[in-house]
Chains A and B, each alone.
Chain A
Amino acid sequence: MTFIKKPIFRHPSLPTNAIGLTYRDYEGVVSTLCAGCGHDSITASIIDACFELSLPAHKIAKLSGIGCSSKTPNYFLNNAHGFNSVHGRMPSVATGANLANRDLTYIGVSGDGDTASIGLGQYCHAIRRQLNLTYIVENNGTYGLTKGQFSATNDKNSKNKRGMDNPFGSIDLAVIAIELGAGFVARSFSGDKEQLVPLIKAALEYDGFALIDVISPCVTFNNHGYSTKSYDYIREHRSVFGDLDFVPEEETINTSYAEGETISLKLHNGREINFKKLGDDHDPTNQHKVINTLRENRAEGKVTTGLLYIDPNKSDLHQTLKTSNTPLNALPMDDLCPGNDFIDNINNLFR
């Protein structure tokens, strides 16, 4: 907690982006989360990603449910649209908003409780429908706001702060997402912005459902020696599944890798993702292999991070439903509601 406002003074040589803003123009209010919370690093990464992509904040909608994680949209993009919804119901609100205005970029922020417990059904159906949404799970394996009970993503071998065993197995949100057909699935760690920021940038540019499951240590309840979601544990057990380099449309690809094979994937909007394979088995477009690798790594106690799976050719919800290219909220009243005569004509066809 911090009582004072963040000083308005900024470094005079702070870089600006293509639309003349500094990253500080993408900030929100000062976080009221515990000092050292992983969520704050994710907030900072979202700010960096939007800044680097030069996104105008007023073309972004940020949505969340309930929980520590779901408080964070208040801490970034002060000038974006926002909706702090009901517990576990962020996907429904996002679906409605997205259908009404397809022109906005949607960022959904949720936690492990909000997604893997109360909102699991909503999560699954948003994936199934390929909602065009960057879905960020701030995953700390614990219910921080209610004083540190196990959440559904807490690993079975991970004890709580008082040394109590976890009787249940954990839900792997990334595996579920791949199984249900999500087109973009990534996992990252709040303590590694070099990996997280490019992932968020790629996810924001991806048309369709993009999950980033971010392990985000809870410094207050889940950062102890026998936790599997602590800063130390993740740093020791992390295996990186390919390096990601996001290449915006206007730039040429000039990144060259010293070793390993690079796969370039073109997105619908012409932008490109370069994925550097770290081993022969790592093909982020092969659903079965990815799931196998994730399972194997998990059995070995490794936490796999990076861009896990991508299908650049998935249709998103609007394509599937063949909705109007003009956002519904921008259609003139006459087009949205053609009037009684028109309806009568249609009805007459069935009489």
Chain B
Amino acid sequence: MMKPTDTKNPNYYHKVVDCQWACPAHTPVPEYIRLIAQRKYTEAYMINWESNVFPGVLGRTCDRPCEPACRRVRVDEEPVAICRLKRAAADNKSDVSGLLPEIPNQKNGKKIAMIGGGPASLTVARDLMPLGYDCTVYEKDPQAGGLMRTNIPSFRLPVGVIDEEVDRILDFGVVKKFNQEVKSLKVILDEDYDAIFIGTGAPKGKDLNVPGRHEASNNIHVGIDWLTSVAFKHIDKIGQRVVVIGGGNTAMDCCRTSLRLGGKDVKVTVRSPKSDMKASDWEIEEAELEGIPIFDNHSPKEFIHENGKLKGVLFEKMKAEYNDGKRTLTATGETVLFECDDVLLAIGQENAFPWIERDIGIEFNQWEQPIVDKTTFQSTQPRVFFGGDAAWGPENIIWAVAHGHQAAISIDNFCQNKDLKDRPSPLTNLVSQKMGIHEWSYPNDISNDDRFAVPHADIETSLTDLNLEVELGYDEKLAFDEAQRCLNCDIQTVFTENLCIECDACVDICPIDCINFTHNDTEENLRKKLTVPALNLTQDILVSDTLKTGRVMVKDEDMCLHCGLCAERCPTGAWDMQKFTYIESHAKKSTISEYVE
């Protein structure tokens, strides 16, 4: 027998909001999408800013874990374009300077050092500055931003967008120690910082040690270093024939940048089958749209050179075999030579800490990775915290932001002598959206449209200008139309047992057949005996207490459209549509609630 679902546990309704649940920073997605539809771009932007700090950047570059999670994928096909809607909020917002947190003139006397000026460190600074901390950022490059600035080419992310969102935090009064590469953590520890946050990312591109690598090194470049040099304008051209080795997003950025710096014949080669490539689908799509061929199952064997002048790369063709989901790549013996002038290596990157002394209390594991607590982000040296790619290897910007928020909470607790395990609970709320018998304060008449494509700049012009942004972003009309595709999964179907007269009205009207009245059983049996069996075990079922006839109400959350028809057809108000607000707690008191309608 299943017990009635405990909807008081904030995780129950939070999980129903698939996008927010999947987002590492738990951004309240449906809320800001509704605000975009109301042309309240500034409010939508601020909700994002509070939660993920870099909405303009993320609206162009986020890895979007929210989109594959979107319920629309399950009932329709394509997810709501959450990421690009975020950009629409950033593009159309008004001046937000008046809405930013106040930075106290009277500091609290605690000094924090952040090593590395990327998204993780900046998030820590964003959360701690309003609390009166004195924050110092060390950055080896002349400008802050980290990989957002150095590794993402400007045709995907214009410099102006990075400047705006990075400077907003620096302008809180962060002490900038730029062009200063920290060579020894011991030196920093010996200064008077109360806590140190390490957000140095994963800046070490992997090399490829095959014959000829050393001899032809003049024309073989490590992708992320090369992209950084392009970003800081130290490199502005490349040979006509370029081979990019690697299948991740960096490879996609390398090949597309090559095209804009004089590359005419640019190829991407991957060791694995194309379907196993690490790059996001949309990045692969964009590269192919620009005419770049991808050769999969090609494993580099040798760099061919004549007296140190690179002539090409010899590849061996591979064959992939799958056994019980495990892939094995075997060499076929067949080789192929791609002639080229330059090679870009984009076969992965890692974090490395040659600058951290091994005798200052920070323990490293067998893979030379620091031991970091998964909840507190504290290392074995209590004053030192890690976050972003520096903590556990390469992830995405949104993860760095989420780490930064958590590390800031820990640093605040640490400096105030509080228990680090004592994490602030999220702010949650549940409010009826009923405006009349069949009127709701959210748009329940959902759009049947397919996902709207984002307009692109003319491809010919794009390829001649490194700084011309390829994606133009949604205009207001497209943003509105796309926003209407959102199912408003944060508007919860709340069931009150003692009001139900078991008239079946909700069962009859539900377009997706997720409501059932049946006799209680084990979860496994209940799931099987529903009108449409609830076979997606990643989604919960909502089970009521026993009703008058001895049955229970069972609702499968999986496909629910949140259209509110069950509540409209309910004669007694046993069903109600209530907005569930979930706001992740930060060190800085969140002001999202000011923007939530």
Contacts and interface: CB of A to CB of B under 8 A. Distances in A.
A219 to B, nearest CB: 4
A321 interface: no
Interface stretch (B98-106, B140-148, B564-572): B564-572
A9 B76 contact: yes
Given A2-B569, A4-B563, A12-B75, A191 B513 contact: no
B533 interface: yes
A6 B438 CA distance: 13
Interface in A210-233: 217, 219, 223, 231-232
A7 B445 CA distance: 8
A244 B565 CA distance: 33
A230 B511 CA distance: 27
Given A2-B568, A3-B438, A43 B502 contact: no
Nearest to A75: B508
A9 B512 contact: yes
For the residues of B in contact with A, the DSSP-based class is loop
A35 B502 contact: no
A85 interface: no
A35 B532 contact: no
Nearest to A219: B571
A37 interface: yes
A257 to B, nearest CB: 20
B437 interface: yes
A340 to B, nearest CB: 57
Interface in B415-472: 437-438, 444-446, 448
Contacts of A149: none
A3 to B, nearest CB: 6
A161 interface: no
Contacts of B97: none
A142 B258 CA distance: 79
Nearest to A1: B438
Contact of B571 (A4, A5, A7, A35): A35
B559 interface: yes
A191 B502 contact: yes
B503 A11 contact: no
B549 A9 contact: no
Given A36-B501, A41-B503, A191-B503, A11 B513 contact: yes
Contacts of A38: 503
Max count, chain B CB within 10 A of own CB: residue among A7, A10, A231:
A7
Interface in A182-237: 190-191, 193, 217, 219, 223, 231-232, 235
A8 B561 CA distance: 11
Contacts of A36: 501, 503, 505, 569-572
Nearest to A235: B549
Contacts of B548: 232, 235
A190 B572 CA distance: 17
B535 interface: yes
A312 B114 CA distance: 88
A41 B438 contact: no
Given A8-B511, A35-B570, A37-B571, 18 more contacts: A1-B437, A8-B448, A9-B448, A9-B511, A10-B511, A10-B512, A11-B512, A12-B74, A14-B532, A30-B509, A36-B569, A40-B509, A44-B504, A44-B507, A190-B504, A231-B503, A232-B501, A235-B548
30 contacts: A3-B438, A4-B444, A4-B563, A4-B565, A5-B445, A6-B509, A6-B565, A7-B512, A7-B561, A7-B563, A9-B76, A9-B561, A10-B512, A11-B532, A13-B535, A30-B509, A35-B569, A35-B570, A36-B503, A36-B570, A36-B572, A37-B503, A37-B571, A40-B504, A219-B503, A219-B571, A223-B501, A231-B503, A232-B501, A235-B548
